[in-house]
Chain A
Amino acid sequence: MNAPVLRLYVLVIVLFAILVGFTSRWTVFDADSLRDNELNRRALLQEQKIRRGAIRTQDGEALARSVPRPGDTWGRRYPTADLFAHAVGYSFTTIGRAGIERSHNDELTGQTDELTGVLDSLLGKDDRGDAVVTTLRTRAQEEAVAALEQSGHKGALVALDTKTGGVLAMASVPSYDPNTIDDPRRFAELNRDTENAPLVNRATQNGYPPGSTMKVVTAAAALDTGRYRPDSQVSGENGKPISGVPLNNFGSEDFGDVDLTFALTNSINTVWAEVGEKLGGRTMQRYMERFGFYAEPPLDYPDAQMSASGVRKKGELVPVTDPSVDVGRVAIGQGDLFATPLQMASVAQTIANGGVRLKPHFMSRVIDPDGRTVEEAEPEEAERVVSRETAAQLADMMRQVVREGTGTAAALEGVEVAGKTGTAELNLEGLNQPWFMGFAGDVAVAVTLERFQGGTGGIVAAPIARRVLQSLGQ
């Protein structure tokens, strides 16, 4: 009777091997799909037990903080309501995460590497995340939002520290109150509102025709290649053919022979379109890429909430070298060119910083629950875009714009503002996309307003930039 006993044992081994096989299936092979199963709420429940760290402005104001909820769980409150909504985003188990709440989730939930995690759990540390101190400034943000709202139009503004790349203000109007959207119905309602699109961050997500602000990029390429100098003579004649189609100056003004500085000060379309055409698609493409066009912005912000600037045909990015692209009109910020306010602020930052583009960032410091600074942001160079000399020449030209050109409304007392206005025409009846982009001291700013009937950059956008620059002590 021993042989059948032995065979029985073999059978038991086989049965146990099946058990190991199935356990492997659930723990390893099918584990990912099980974790993603819509019925699996474990991750969400685990999340609620973590006390997320606060998000603060540079000046210490709490933008997001955790509040206790029944049953050892934590909820999220946003004390500044709609003021910082787009930058900060939200974190709710019902609808997910956005903004800094999403891009800095690891720090905020205190997720560390495997080894320290094991040590922490052995030492009985509770689940507390680190606080993120941002580069944002309350006063600047308040001014930006107030100024945009007073314009009566939708719009966006980005202010960057020219020496560090830190985002000082990021406003998108209309905004929303993140405290109310953990209700999925309210969230769905806001999502459906395509007219106002309050959830969209117009500063990073929406590209707009940059109009004449683009002439700064064209001028940078013109000077940096050595093909032009600020005093190079160019023709400001009205109605010059660009790509075979006559182009008009603003108000069809005929300027005659002028130098390049004058052409920027007075934003002469025909000059810059011709300069763009003469530089050619390849050069324009090269300089645009150096300025950060044609790439996701290197901001510590969710990719899903940013878009790359550049020429877009049917929503797809098309290089300037493409035969379908009108290089001359791209050079003056038209011709299917779309740029985000973040992109244009980055252009201003680059010129202000001697030609070096810095990576824009929100995070300034990460502070652990014991108050120790565990991470600190250093200025990070993205790329040298133009030479120091080119940047200095261009900065002078931009100062001239504010001193006596189209951008006088941005002028401040005691400090010289450099800038460039833009007024992209959306139709022939005066529906415009006004812009202002510039810098003063250590602050670069870009602002735009949507679909402004009769509004020009110099009149409606420059004063907004001025208010924000002023609030930042410039």
Chain B
Amino acid sequence: MSARNRELLALIPASLLLTAGFAALFVQHSQELSNVSLTYGAAFLALCLAGHLVIRFTLPDADPYMFPLVAVLACFGLVIIYRIDEELAREQAQWFVVGLILFAATIVFLRDFRVLERYRYTVAVAGLFLLLLPRVPGIGQQVNGAYLGVGIGPISFQPAEFGKIAIVIFLAAYLRDTRQILIQGSRRVLGVTIPPLKHFGPLLVVWGGAMILLVFIRDLGSSLMFFGAFLALLYVATNRLSFVTIGLGMFAVGAWFFASTVGHVQNRIDTWRDPFDRALYDRPGGSYQIAQSLFAQADGGLFGVGFGQALITQPGGGAILPAPQTDLIYAVIVNELGLVGACGLLLVYLLFVERGFKTAMLARDSFSKLLAAGLTAVFALQVFVIVGGVTKVIPLTGVTLPFVSYGGSSIVANFVLLALLLLVSDRARREARA
């Protein structure tokens, strides 16, 4: 069976999931909801089919499972968002259309994605610009103390979602050039391999960038995500664990320093360590969110309370669970579908990550390898940062759960990420076959 036919077949589970999900909601709220909910489902399936056709005609050799896995995640997200707020689901569905258009555009205009290498510095500057945009007065938006959003008129978006792709492209291009020098120029000092001083500079720049993010954007999670992706790429490029260790050490020192000096970061860490402290719980922007996240999960238990049964808003108005459609969507999923449902979701992510790394391993040239590995790593880290935040593994931060959380920038950016992975995959698999 050809890769594309396998992809088409693999879309069946996604369509079943979607139909079942909407049917459940429909049955449950038949008094309030109309057949519109089922129309949503049909329209969404048509979109998946359109995406499939784009791939079929442009990237016939690309990995057959990535798109269906994304479709499963997206369907899952859409149903959950629909259950939280009908209006948001409608918007999310619109963003899917935009995302798919950008997905198709990326594939069509970047047929030879390796041209990106040539624009690495342009891309890098664009990436940094995007990351720092939320601090520009007038358009920057502060949410929960972190600067992650930008609002221009009625449109608001999270530039970091696009920034992460730009940074990975730059790092992949930069490390492809310097990896040999980094490996060969290294010296061993006291049994520790350290990179040549000449190339230490750029690494310090990246580290500095992460620290700037921490201070300016004030978000531990996203700086962890970016710096983590950088270390992952550095490791893949050089196969030197010592570089990663040094990098992690530097990050830890920097994070500790800023955590103890920047009030907001300090607050985030306090609320993370002791979410049930009465004073922290009552403080605005305190531990209320993480505490409620944990309560919601406890409420879910092993099998969850059932679809549409979770308590999200207070009787008489007001939210119990703040930001259920974005930051805390994982808590809603655990609440309704339990540990079992959450494991299923994480498994889908893990399968996608597996396809991403597989693509990286199949790719022939260094840039493709680094690009695929980097994009996959940043994707996996994003999942870890938000789910880890919601489950109190690390301090909670405001990044989205890719393809599941509500959010236009997130959906669109992740579709671009998917397009890039499929581009690398198509080329790698074609070359591997030849």
Interface residues of A (CB under 8 A from B): 1-9, 12-13, 15-16, 18-20, 22-28, 30-32, 34-35, 37, 39-42, 45-46, 48-49, 69-73, 118, 121-124
In B78-130, the 8 Å CB interface with A consists of none
Provide the residues of chain A in CB contact with B360, threshold 8 Å: 5
Q: Cβ of A46 and Cβ of B311 under 8 Å apart? A: yes
Q: Cβ of B299 and Cβ of A35 under 8 Å apart? A: yes
Listed stretches B161-169, B207-215, B339-347, B425-433; interface member: B339-347
| Alpha-carbon separation in the docked complex, A121 to B309 (Å) | 9
Q: What is the chain A residue whose CB lies nearest that of B298?
A: A34
> B380 contacts the other chain (Cβ, under 8 Å)?
yes
Q: Cβ of A22 and Cβ of B316 under 8 Å apart? A: no
Interface residues of B (CB under 8 A from A): 24, 27-31, 232, 235-237, 239, 276, 278, 281, 291, 294-302, 306, 309, 311, 314-317, 320, 334, 338-339, 342-343, 346, 349-350, 353-354, 357, 360-361, 366, 369-370, 373, 377, 380, 383-384, 387-388, 391-393
| Alpha-carbon separation in the docked complex, A72 to B316 (Å) | 7
Provide the residues of chain A in CB contact with B314, threshold 8 Å: 45, 71
27 A-B interface contacts by CB (under 8 A): A1-B237, A1-B369, A3-B239, A4-B239, A5-B236, A5-B361, A5-B373, A9-B353, A16-B383, A16-B384, A20-B343, A22-B393, A23-B297, A23-B334, A23-B342, A26-B297, A27-B301, A27-B339, A34-B295, A37-B291, A37-B295, A39-B295, A42-B295, A71-B317, A121-B28, A122-B27, A123-B27
Q: Cβ of A16 and Cβ of B346 under 8 Å apart? A: yes
Take A2-B361, A42-B299 as given contacts and tell me if A12 and B237 are in contact as well, using a CB distance cutoff of 8 Å. Answer: no
Q: Cβ of B294 and Cβ of A26 under 8 Å apart? A: yes
Q: What is the chain A residue whose CB lies nearest that of B232?
A: A8
Nearest chain A CB to B62 CB, angstrom units: 18
| Alpha-carbon separation in the docked complex, A181 to B302 (Å) | 38
| Alpha-carbon separation in the docked complex, A215 to B306 (Å) | 60
| Alpha-carbon separation in the docked complex, A276 to B134 (Å) | 91
Provide the residues of chain A in CB contact with B357, threshold 8 Å: 5-6, 8-9, 12
Q: What is the chain B residue whose CB lies nearest that of A36?
A: B298
Provide the residues of chain A in CB contact with B315, threshold 8 Å: 45, 48-49, 71-73
Nearest chain B CB to A45 CB, angstrom units: 6
| Alpha-carbon separation in the docked complex, A18 to B387 (Å) | 10
Take A3-B239, A5-B357 as given contacts and tell me if A124 and B295 are in contact as well, using a CB distance cutoff of 8 Å. Answer: no
Q: What is the chain B residue whose CB lies nearest that of A41?
A: B320
Q: Do most interface residues of chain A lie in helix, strand or loop, or is the interface mixed?
A: helix
Nearest chain B CB to A401 CB, angstrom units: 58
Nearest chain B CB to A113 CB, angstrom units: 15
Provide the residues of chain A in CB contact with B392, threshold 8 Å: 22, 26
| Alpha-carbon separation in the docked complex, A442 to B369 (Å) | 91
| Alpha-carbon separation in the docked complex, A46 to B299 (Å) | 11
Provide the residues of chain A in CB contact with B296, threshold 8 Å: 42
Nearest chain B CB to A23 CB, angstrom units: 5
Q: Cβ of A124 and Cβ of B31 under 8 Å apart? A: yes
Which of B299, B309, B388 is the one whose CB lies under 8 Å from A19? B388
Q: Cβ of B311 and Cβ of A40 under 8 Å apart? A: no
| Alpha-carbon separation in the docked complex, A70 to B291 (Å) | 26
Provide the residues of chain A in CB contact with B281, threshold 8 Å: 39
Q: Cβ of A121 and Cβ of B306 under 8 Å apart? A: yes
Q: Cβ of B316 and Cβ of A26 under 8 Å apart? A: no
Q: Cβ of A27 and Cβ of B298 under 8 Å apart? A: yes
Q: What is the chain A residue whose CB lies nearest that of B28?
A: A124
Q: Can you add 6 more A-B contacts, CB < 8 Å, to A16-B349, A72-B316?
A: A5-B369, A16-B383, A22-B392, A27-B338, A41-B320, A70-B316
